[in-house]
Copies of this chain bind each other. A is one copy, B any other.
Amino acid sequence: MGTTQLESVPEPKYWHLKTVLSEALDSEFSVGEILPNERDLAARFGVARATLRQALEQLELEGRLQRRRGVGTTVAPPRVGVAVGSEQHTWPGAAGDAWQATDCTVAAPPASVAGILETAHGEQVHTVRRSRVTHGQQVAAELLYVPASSVPDLSAIDAPSGAARARAVLRELQRLDLENQDRAVELGSARADDAKELDRLPGAPVLVVTTRFFAEGRTAAVSVATYRADTCRLTFGDSGGVEIHHDPERRAS
């Protein structure tokens, strides 16, 4: 990539540098390739290290670059479209569900979830842990909170915890008539346990999807799913996976 004169540009320097870098990524680098180190890059574009770092951070937010532990900064593959919403209202664990149940414990949910479930303060609920794998990579981790009142016939004799218990809870949940569900998506930071599962550093930006399942006139279960924000694009709508390779950089050009 050639050097570029960045002096006479009205927009912030790092912003213009980001555009220039992005074009270089398109034309000169391939997916997975490791970028030259910061000192070399800064020298090449005639900018301060701080400016370069700002531009790299932008490109990371936009999913163009990945910082990987022990590897360095690499060119990211296009984000993967992960279908989140569908018009078919189904319970977690129904046929075709993309999630894999891995564990189940009984614990008091966080206050925000208890508020939605309208459980008493400190009341314990079944907490099913699930993970979602796409193209061989774990893209999301989920905690599904199910109050005992939603699964009244659940046997206490079976496995008290673990994947088998999780499946038993999901099976009991299916007995309820699902009336409705709604979702909220927001920015969050990865908790230490989720981060480890998702191969991210604790605190990495994630997309948090909270789903509320309604049955028998009340909230019967709440799912809090944490998606990798660097590699995932969440898709909603009938047609399932939206084949949009959204690239904010190209959008700006």
Chain A contact residues, CB within 8 Å of chain B: 11-12, 14-15, 18, 54, 57-58, 61-63, 79, 81, 84-85, 87, 110-113, 115-116, 143, 180-189, 191-192, 202-203, 205, 207-208, 210, 212, 224, 229-230, 232-239, 242, 244-248, 250-253
CB atoms of A61 and B15 under 8 A apart: no
A84, A187, A252 — most chain B CB neighbours (10 Å):
A187
Q: Assuming A181-B237, A236-B236, is B112 touching A58 (CB within 8 A)? A: no
Could you say which residues of chain B place their CB within 8 Å of the CB of A116? 244
Name the CB-closest residue of B to A191: B252
Could you say which residues of chain B place their CB within 8 Å of the CB of A143? 251
Copies of this protein in the assembly total 2
CB atoms of B112 and A246 under 8 A apart: yes
CB distance from A100 to the nearest CB of B (A): 21
Could you show 10 A-B contacts with beta carbons less than 8 Å apart? Answer: A14-B203, A61-B203, A182-B235, A184-B242, A184-B244, A188-B246, A191-B248, A191-B252, A205-B205, A212-B244
- Residue from B87, B185, B191, B250 within 8 A of A111 (CB atoms): B250
